[in-house]
Amino acid sequence: MNVLHKGILSTILALVLTGCASESPSPSTTSSQSEHEERIQAEVVKIIDGDTISVKINGKKDTVRMLLIDTPETKHPSQPVQPFGPEATAFAKKRLNNKHISLEIGTTKRDKYDRLLAYVYVDGTMYNKKVVAKGLARVGYVYPPNDKYIEQLRGAEEKAQIEHKGIWSIDGYVTEEGFREEVIDQQPQQNDQENNNIGDLPYNPNGKDRDCSHFSTQEVAQQFFTAAGGPEQDKHRLDRDGDGIACESLP
């Protein structure tokens, strides 16, 4: 083979190798595609409580328990409604109800109650982290290998705790095992004033009777409802079905 032919062959080989290299995805692209492929699409059909939702996946209903978080109880058969449980449920209803979401399923896919274990994404944001950052959930039920995002959630929890948001506004309320209602009984008046920001409400919760038409949003109605005694009293009759959520028809 003469020198000319060798040169042509070398040029062709170089072009082929360059083309192959350009068609190979970068590691970051592969990682992004892989992460996207791990998520499945679902539609939220019901909010059960602050950390559990009912969804429809490919037309089939399933129950999702959000990974790594724990919100105060609202429907436990042997426990009373816990402080900030109704707020956590109301927040979930506002952010997730009837929404199209993505689910990143855990390594262990289901718990002992056959609930799907997942990280929930709405509008591209992880809801598990958002509810912790709002001070409406603690980081809990950490069971490797279902702890992929534990550092992110711990960071959000630490910030909420420093800022005394929600559940962290009551000293001693949050523990490694869950929530302590007896702490509330020891200091109800002080915590009612501090946690419900009565001065920021549109009406005095101890004043004349109010109904849902007096409030512009469910969030404001919920704050008023809690300040007025919550589900234990409901003297304004804002919680018609007794689930701890006031004025559910409001936006």
* Euclidean distance between CA atoms 232 and 77, whole angstroms: 16
Burial status of residue 149 (CB atoms within 10 A of its CB: 0-12, 13-18, 19 or more): middle
Query: Is the Cβ–Cβ distance between 47 and 75 less than 8 Å?
Result: no
Catalytic residue at 115?
yes
The token pair that represents 113 in the structure block: 């109650």
Query: Using an 8 Å Cβ cutoff, are 142 and 133 in contact?
Result: no
The amino acid sitting at 132 is V
Give the β-pairing of 116-122 and 60-66: parallel
Q: Residue 79 corresponds to which tokens in the numbers above?
A: 């426990």
Please report how many Cα atoms fall inside a 13 Å half-sphere around the Cα of residue 151, on the Cβ side.
1
Q: How far apart are CA 64 and CA 59, in angstroms?
A: 15
The token pair at 58 is 């490919």
237 annotated active-site: no
73 catalytically annotated: yes
Question: HSE of 57 in the Cβ direction (CA atoms, 13 Å)?
Answer: 14
Find the catalytic residue in 87, 95, 104, 115: 115
For residues 215 and 228, the answer to whether their CB atoms sit within 8 Å is: no
Residue 66 token pair: 């959000």
- Which residues are tagged catalytic? 65, 73, 115
